A = this chain, B = another copy of it.
Amino acid sequence: MSSTPTFRRLPRAVREQQMLDAAVKVFSRRGYHGASMDEIADDAGISKPMVYAYLGTKEELFVACLHREGNRMTQAVTSAVAPDLSADERLWRSLRAFLGFVGAHRDGWAVLYRQARGEQPFAGEIAAMRRRIVEVVTELLDHTLRAEGREAAEVELEVAAYALVGATESVADWLVDHPEADPEQTATRMMNVAWVGAAQLLAGTSWRPPIRRGEAPS
């Protein structure tokens, strides 16, 4: 009858993506608790039971969103780094790719990630994601350290990683909230603060707390 086909009764895979798209959008806009399954279903142009049938509970749905966006981000970062590059260069490219991705998907991964950090049900997921992020990052530090023939204590490295990741997250948040900012330039600025600090650490320049009169050294 009509030249435009009816879009009902789509195959499962397609519908799932539509649902995830809608879910990401609504979660981003309203937050995990503020989002209602009704709105997500409406936005996906489908009835609620389908959402439950395909993607499960609200919690599971949120995790699914987090995973999909996280994978996309990871892929964007890893595909930007060739293994034959110098550690320095890989560092830079990763950061640029990461902030570039965040800037290009301002209502995607970064927002969900930020929300998930405060909610108890996602503690495990967040820990896992962070671990994966830290891995990508720490590998670079490790590489550089070993190339210089030096090493650092486990805890030492952990705190460093947390500081670097935290700094990057924070800048990513800032980027999300400043649509006018240029991701690449922001990446450059970022390199100038935290990563240069890390470089110093790697170079062996270390800072010691001053010892004052009347104050016992810890």
Residues of A within 8 A of B (CB): 30-34, 88-89, 92, 96, 114-120, 155-156, 158-160, 162-171, 173-174, 181-182, 184-201, 205-210, 218
CB distance from A41 to the nearest CB of B (A): 14
Check B188–A207 contact: CB distance below 8 A. yes
Per the bound structure, the CA–CA distance linking A201 and B192 in Å amounts to 6
> When A and B form their complex, which 5 residue pairs have the shortest distance between CB atoms, in order from nearest?
A166-B170, A197-B197, A115-B118, A167-B167, A118-B118
Q: Which of B169, B184, B189 contacts A156 (CB 8 A)?
A: B189
Nearest CB to that of A218 among chain B residues? Answer: B184
CB distance from A103 to the nearest CB of B (A): 13
Check B192–A194 contact: CB distance below 8 A. no
Cβ–Cβ < 8 Å partners of A193 in chain B: 159-160, 163-164, 194, 197-198, 201
Cβ–Cβ < 8 Å partners of A190 in chain B: 159, 163
Q: Which of B163, B181, B200, B210 contacts A171 (CB 8 A)?
A: B163
Q: In this complex, which of A120, A159, A185, A190 has the most chain B Cβ atoms within 10 angstroms of its Cβ?
A: A159
Q: Can you name 27 A-B residue pairings with CB atoms under 8 Å?
A: A31-B118, A33-B33, A33-B119, A114-B118, A117-B117, A156-B189, A159-B174, A159-B190, A159-B193, A160-B189, A160-B193, A162-B174, A163-B171, A163-B190, A164-B194, A166-B167, A166-B169, A167-B167, A185-B218, A188-B208, A192-B206, A193-B198, A193-B201, A196-B197, A196-B205, A197-B197, A200-B200
